[in-house]
Structure 1
Amino acid sequence: MLSLFGLIKPKRDYQIAKDQHRFLFLVPAHNEEDVIGPTIESLINQNYDPALFDIVIIADNCTDHTVEVIEKYKRAEAFVNTSKPDEPRGKPHAIARFIETGRWKVYDYIAFIDADNIVDKDYLMEMNSQLIAKPELTVVQGYLGVKNVATSMTASGYAAVYFITNRAVQYANYRLGWNAAIGGTGFVLQTMYLEKNGWNPRSYTEDFELQVELSLQSKKSGWNHFAVVYDEKPNSVIASHNQRTRWAQGHWFVAFTTTWKQMKSIFHAKSIIEGLSKCETLFYSYSMVRPIAFLIIISLAILDKRLLIYLPDLFSVLLFWLVIEFLNLVIIPTVYFLQEAGTYFDEREKFIDKVILYFRLIVGFVWNSITYMAAQIVGFFTWFKPQNNWKKTVHSATFDRNQ
């Protein structure tokens, strides 16, 4: 139902304003010599007053030439972080090391960017304009695009999900006045909030932790459909599984450790919209429960085959589910693919290539949903383990819409 509210094509609800806010681009990087150069160049080339933004790359325990690449750019600064063998490692902890310096306090907002991202030249201009018009926003999540839409079926699956989610969840939430989800990259955070609350990651998913924290404190996170960041997605099933298992472990950890707080917070909402936003965040906390439910049902059926005699009763709602799944797997994706992936379709001259891309996205969407279930199940049973053993996703893609 939420996805229906995103069907209206996005329009700015703010006017483009004069450059005003001071931003710090903060980019965690671990052995990213192959991609960090283009990322820095995209940050340098912002259509924004250079005096109002700086770039810091966190070279986190790098053993390659990442630092040397960073040093080639005068506008970028390398913050070299080294950890002892017994210290926690990974993106959230690397960011924490920089936050401890307090150097970010002279800025109005920190823009968190991943080392493999290509940031649109108007990113800061759009963020600045929205934040001037809507100063109540503590966080604004930017649009998450994909660099490698067609390099593999796995990457196409990611692209399909993001084309849909950017509209069906993020923009829909924003239209309803609900909090947007924090996507791990491409978002800006108000430094006043950070100064008051600190940076205290407990899981692999520091972005989801922040999302829940904002909800608990009745703070607002917004969505900017025009501040675009292009992200590289894994091409192999194994790399994808490792990445999504990490996400699932962090997600379940945050869900289980904050559920009671979230439930109590709903009753302290100051308005219906705020209360519904808190409910949506709680609902999102358990968005990975479906494969767990399937697993329980299958396990019970194996233990007691008499449960299978109820299987024919499921067909009493077959028509209902066919309508829902047709909406979910055909109508909604088609609308969002044709609009959100419009540029990718336009750059394919032959009609047959456009058709192939469409079906590739449809198949990729289903493939992504099925393969993600395995990671969600693994994450469910391992969420309690220490979340400080970060498995790096190797990046190498250049930005080409035909890939």
Structure 2
Amino acid sequence: MDKTEFFYWCIWWGWWIIQFVLYTLLGALMCDGFYQIIVSLRGFWNQKKMPPAKRYRRFAVLVPAHNEEAVLSPLLDSLAGQNYPKNCYKVYVSCDNCTDGTAALARSKGAVALERFDDEHNGKTWNVRWALTQIPLDDYDALTMFDADNLAERNFLMAMNNYMELHPDAEAIQGVLDVKNPDDNWLTRSYAMAYWFTNRFWQLARGLWGLSCTLGGTGLVIRMATLERIGWNLQSLTEDLEMSTRLILSGSRVHWNDAAVIYDEKPQDMRVSVRQRTRWMQGHYWVFWHYGRPALKSFFTTGRLQYLDLFLYLLAPAKACLGIVIMIAGMAFTLVNNMVLYPSADVPHTAVDWVLFFGLPVVSIIAFCLLCAIAGPSFHERKFTLRYVKYTLSYFWFGLTWIPILFRAAFLAKDQGKWVKTEHTRGISLDEVKK
């Protein structure tokens, strides 16, 4: 074999290797997609109604805050108005380096204001860690946590208490995360559509399958015994995901309570949104790099689907990036293969390549956006509605804005120390949200 023949031989084999790798990765992503669809189908079922509990558990209600005077009052009002014995819960507002009237406002509303001043270790993770050293945890059965911009449904604590009685093995419970300002603009509406879909077809579906849900950072309950067992020495920018992962790897799981609802404020400005979502993805990548391997190892060791499900979720940002790369590479492969190397290739073979690498992803994305625009809002409003179909295009655009975030966050994930607060301005009451 001369040099020319060897050169063409290398090209030929290299091209077939590239093709094999592309189709293998595409097949793996398709298998994952089918798995996610099967799991999400359980979201069409409802969670069983819970009987009233026979006893009232004591809750320590923690609200981490940093200069939240503008939005804190409605949350404290919603907590004061809980349909739950007032002597069975206490609200603690942990004021982290506050320079406004957050602490004074908390005290005026009957909450305990914990004031912390530490310029070196700032952010929610450090604030919560410190606050837990200031609260008499032994006096309570469980910790529940809210962000300062939230609103809590009147029956939130009662619903959590009922769930804890019905499920004594539940160490951590996540409530429904709704949006308190969905109609501010297209961006908050897109957030709302995403949350309505996720609540039903990700969180509730997994809860009904007996898989683990994930903590959302707010609207959650953790038993004090669990906090003592696992601790709160978290290191990532997404302390909720890291806590969920530690809990799952310890052999437990996060439960989902569809009857406990809170409302969360979403950014109205794209720059704020990008900064917030970049922080989420930074933390997500970090948690995957530190806990992905133990999750996969636990699956192969025990055979429990819960660990594989966790691994696939931690892998989600990387899967999204890989899917985009495969789509672009597949399109390039098809063009080169059928226009340069084999211009006489038959049309059916060409069509299959285009369908697999371009048509299938595009159709899947469009179908997913339509599902989010119909199924999520319909279950949220408890009746079939097409009101949000007209927002499918803006929701699709919202999805596209995730692409640069996913790629950029992968390079920033090593840095988990820089926490940037998301500004909150929508100080609206629970009555205004429910109009």
TM-score range, shorter chain: 0.7 to 0.9
> Relative to 1, partners in 2 of residues 1:106 and 1:5: Cα closer, same or farther, differing over 3 Å?
same
**TM-score, normalization by structure 2:** 0.82
Within 5 Å, give how 1:3-402 maps onto structure 2. 3-8=40-45, 10-74=46-110, 76-84=111-119, 87-101=120-134, 103-269=136-302, 275-293=304-322, 296-297=325-326, 308-310=335-337, 312=350, 313-317=352-356, 324-325=364-365, 327-331=367-371, 333-342=373-382, 357-360=388-391, 362-385=392-415, 387-397=416-426, 398-399=428-429, 400-401=432-433
How far residue 384 of structure 1 moved from its aligned partner, in angstroms, is 0.6
Kept after mapping to 2: 8 A contact 1:158/1:364 = no
Kept after mapping to 2: 8 A contact 1:105/1:195 = no
> Relative to 1, partners in 2 of residues 1:326 and 1:376: Cα closer, same or farther, differing over 3 Å?
closer
How far residue 39 of structure 1 moved from its aligned partner, in angstroms, is 0.6
How far residue 282 of structure 1 moved from its aligned partner, in angstroms, is 0.7
**Which has the larger displacement, 183-192 or 96-105?**
96-105
- 2:134 aligned counterpart, secondary structure: coil
Amino acid at match of 2:409: G
Amino acid at match of 1:359: K
Kept after mapping to 1: 8 A contact 2:374/2:386 = no
Instruction: Return the alpha-carbon distance in structure 2 between the equivalents of residues 300 and 334 of structure 1.
Output: 32
Instruction: Return the alpha-carbon distance in structure 1 between the equivalents of residues 320 and 308 of structure 2.
Output: 21
Instruction: Return the alpha-carbon distance in structure 2 between the equivalents of residues 118 and 228 of structure 1.
Output: 9
Instruction: Return the alpha-carbon distance in structure 2 between the equivalents of residues 39 and 402 of structure 1.
Output: 14
Kept after mapping to 2: 8 A contact 1:156/1:364 = no
Aligned-residue Cα RMSD (Å) equals 2.5
Kept after mapping to 1: 8 A contact 2:96/2:116 = yes
How far residue 320 of structure 1 moved from its aligned partner, in angstroms, is 5.3
Decide which structure has the larger Cα Rg and report it. 2
List per-residue Cα deviations over 1:290-338 (Å, max 9, x = no partner).
4422564588799xx6674258553244775576445422245412211
Instruction: Return the alpha-carbon distance in structure 1 between the equivalents of residues 362 and 324 of structure 2.
Output: 22
How far residue 285 of structure 1 moved from its aligned partner, in angstroms, is 0.1
> Relative to 1, partners in 2 of residues 1:83 and 1:113: Cα closer, same or farther, differing over 3 Å?
same
Kept after mapping to 2: 8 A contact 1:33/1:66 = yes
Kept after mapping to 2: 8 A contact 1:157/1:363 = no
Amino acid at match of 2:379: Q
- 1:288 aligned counterpart, secondary structure: helix
Amino acid at match of 1:251: H
Kept after mapping to 2: 8 A contact 1:154/1:367 = no
Instruction: Return the alpha-carbon distance in structure 2 between the equivalents of residues 99 and 215 of structure 1.
Output: 22
Kept after mapping to 2: 8 A contact 1:337/1:358 = no
Instruction: Return the alpha-carbon distance in structure 1 between the equivalents of residues 334 and 61 of structure 2.
Output: 56
Instruction: Return the alpha-carbon distance in structure 2 between the equivalents of residues 59 and 267 of structure 1.
Output: 44
Instruction: Return the alpha-carbon distance in structure 2 between the equivalents of residues 73 and 200 of structure 1.
Output: 30
Instruction: Return the alpha-carbon distance in structure 1 between the equivalents of residues 272 and 200 of structure 2.
Output: 26
Instruction: Return the alpha-carbon distance in structure 2 between the equivalents of residues 256 and 110 of structure 1.
Output: 28
- 2:144 aligned counterpart, secondary structure: strand
How far residue 77 of structure 1 moved from its aligned partner, in angstroms, is 0.6
**Can you give the 5+ residue segments of structure 2 that lack an aligned partner in the other structure?**
1-36, 339-349
Q: Which has the higher helix share?
A: 2
Instruction: Return the alpha-carbon distance in structure 1 between the equivalents of residues 147 and 337 of structure 2.
Output: 49
How far residue 201 of structure 1 moved from its aligned partner, in angstroms, is 1.3
List per-residue Cα deviations over 1:148-187 (Å, max 9, x = no partner).
0010111111100000000110010011000111111101
Kept after mapping to 2: 8 A contact 1:144/1:228 = yes
Counterpart in the other structure of 1:350: none
Kept after mapping to 1: 8 A contact 2:69/2:100 = yes
Instruction: Return the alpha-carbon distance in structure 1 between the equivalents of residues 311 and 264 of structure 2.
Output: 27
Instruction: Return the alpha-carbon distance in structure 2 between the equivalents of residues 118 and 191 of structure 1.
Output: 23
List per-residue Cα deviations over 1:35-61 (Å, max 9, x = no partner).
101111111111001111000001110
Kept after mapping to 1: 8 A contact 2:177/2:219 = yes
Number of equivalent positions: 382
Kept after mapping to 2: 8 A contact 1:23/1:108 = yes
Kept after mapping to 1: 8 A contact 2:183/2:189 = yes
Counterpart in the other structure of 1:351: none
Q: Which protein has greater RCO, CA pairs closer than 8 Å, 6+ apart?
A: 1
**TM-score, normalization by structure 1:** 0.88
> Relative to 1, partners in 2 of residues 1:384 and 1:334: Cα closer, same or farther, differing over 3 Å?
same
Instruction: Return the alpha-carbon distance in structure 2 between the equivalents of residues 168 and 295 of structure 1.
Output: 23
Instruction: Return the alpha-carbon distance in structure 2 between the equivalents of residues 321 and 203 of structure 1.
Output: 32
- 2:267 aligned counterpart, secondary structure: coil
